[in-house]
Structure formats: C-alpha cells, structure tokens
Amino acid sequence: MAVNVAVVGATGAVGEEFLTVLAERDFPIKNLKLLASSRSAGKTIKYRGQDYKVELLTKDSFKGVEIALFSAGGSISKEFAPAAVSAGAIVVDNSSAFRMTDGVPLVVPEVNPQAIKGHKGIIANPNCSTIIMNVPVWPLYKANKIKRLVISTYQAVSGAGAWGLWELEDQIKAYASGQPIKKNKFPHQIVNNIFSHNSSVQENGYNEEENKMVKETRKIFGDAKIAVTATCVRVPVPRAHSESINIEFEKPMTPAEVREILAKAPGVTIVDCPEKSHFPMPLEASHQDNVFVGRIRQDISLDGGRGIDMFVAGDQLRKGAATNAIQIAELLIK
C-alpha cells in the first residue's frame, strides 16, 4: 500500500539518511513532500532519479500527508507535529520532544513493536545510543532478566549533526597543516581528544544523553525497576557510536549462551574473533543497519557467573535514527 510521506528536516544529516534508507528499503511512497526551514526551502533534492523541491515548513504543510517523518529538533517537533496530526498524518518523531510523554509510544521495532498500537498520532523514535544498546540487550533480557546495566559510550561527531562532522574535518586539516585548531560549536577541541558528551549536565549530575539512556530504556523495556547507569563521551570518529555494556543478570549466564541468543536476534551481527583481535568497530558498522556485537566475556567481578561484558558498534544515523524510524513506518503500513 503506497502512502503519502513528508520528511521534515529533509536537508539535515538524518533527513538525508531518511531518503537514502527509504530508497534502499523500497518504501512504498505515493507522493513525497520534503520540508525544511527558510534556510533550505527552495533547494532541489534528487530522490530515486526524480528532482524534488524542498518546501518551507509551515503548519499547513501536511494536507494529504499520511506519514510524517520528523528530524528537525525538539522545538520544531513540538511546534509542528500537532499540526501534522490534526491534518490526519501519523508522526514518527526523531527528536526528544515526546519520548517520555505519557501515551506516546517509544519504539524499537526489534524490542516493543506492539507499543505502536497505542499511538494517538505521534510515535517517538528513541535516542540513538539507547537504540544501539537496546537491540542486543533486549533478547538477553527476555532470556534472563537483567538487574543492572552499566554503559559507557564512544559517540561519533556526526551524532551532533552534520556540523559535528565538518568541525572534525576542519580540525584534522588544521592539525595536519600545522595551523591553529579552532573550535566552533563543540565546547572543546575534538581532534586528538575526547570529552564528556556535549549535552547539558542535569541536577542529578548526569548529562542529558546519559539520562535519556536510563529513562528511555525503562520505558521501552516496560521495566521501571531495571538499574541503568551510563557515561556518555564524544570521540573523534566521523560516524557510528560504540558502547561498552556491562550486564548483571538475575541468574547465571555464560558467554556461549549469550552468543547463541544473539546469533538468532534480529538486528544483530556478531563480530567476535579473539584470535585476530577483531571486534566491533565504528568503521565497519558505518552505513550498516545491524548493531555489531563482540568482546562477549564473563564479568569476573561478579560471583556466580551473573555478569557479562560486551562491546557494540552501530550507525547512529541509520539504526540509531533513520532506519529505526522507517521500520516503525513499515509497521504502520502493515
């Protein structure tokens, strides 16, 4: 069944990825509308060999639209998503605007596709780091309930938007040529450096990205008691986030059991070759939809074999954003 689709924020990093993934997955589009701010309105974008003119986003942009894919920031979503719903569209929103709103499903299709049925016009796409962690952790949670998760992230600069990539590239060029290294939007130099994720630190001492991982995981898993703690860091990598994940289960779990479960899990690719020291890397995870999982080993700090350590890498622009949203849209049209 072909549907009328609008992409809001079509010229941004994730918006461009929306169009790539829509074409790759042969999403059934009847009519396509590309929407953006006044800075980008009027531009021409090619989709599947056809030129589309980017239109100015207004509250009247959604007449006839059935599915609206939003990727333009929380303030834009709050302003324009209700107008899209009023016009009859279902909004799949990639921002944080509605993720923790009661009555708005927060969905990772490999984890909680059934939650989509409860939507009232808006479905929220989780945070990229949350999605990349949830995809491999959920099948383990189903097999052996998890008591606690400890996550450390290594997040690519393009997760901040296209400007993050430009800033890294500019600093690499400056460093290579012996020129002064200038920081623009990032709070610190990113080339040859890492720093705490550039979201604001909240009252509890966690930054916004870390709190998202905690709160969103509890909502997606439907488990308000699962203990989650995270440390989120920005690294000088262009694309794909990596994460170190420590899991404490209620019952013993061996690395062999974890590999057996994840080998059958949707959205997971195991990359775990100790002989060649070949494990998940952002370079190989880039432009892929699956989350790569490896370094699967017993946590020797926990008695009774209840702990597992693993390392994952996933493309935050694809599975962490565009692909996950389009998988939600695919569930809607089914």
C-alpha distances in Å from residue 56, one per residue of 10, 37, 94, 136, 254: 11, 6, 19, 39, 54
Catalytically annotated residue among 119, 197, 232, 241:
241
- What the block records as the tokens of 48 is 């599947």
CA pair distance 314, 280, nearest whole angstrom:
9
Query: 178 - beta bridge partners?
Result: none
128 is catalytic: yes
Contact between residue 200 and residue 207 where contact means Cβ atoms under 8 Å apart? yes
C-alpha distances in Å from residue 260, one per residue of 139, 168, 271, 289, 293: 11, 39, 13, 20, 12
CA pair distance 257, 149, nearest whole angstrom:
18
197 is catalytic: no
- The single-letter DSSP state of residue 207 is B
Catalytically annotated residue among 119, 128, 197, 232:
128
Long-range CB pairs of 261-267, under 8 A, 24+ apart, other chains included: 261/139, 261/140, 261/143, 262/136, 262/139, 262/140, 262/293, 262/296, 264/139, 265/110, 265/135, 265/136, 265/138, 265/139, 266/110, 267/110, 267/135, 267/136, 267/291, 267/319
**Catalytic center residues:** 128, 241
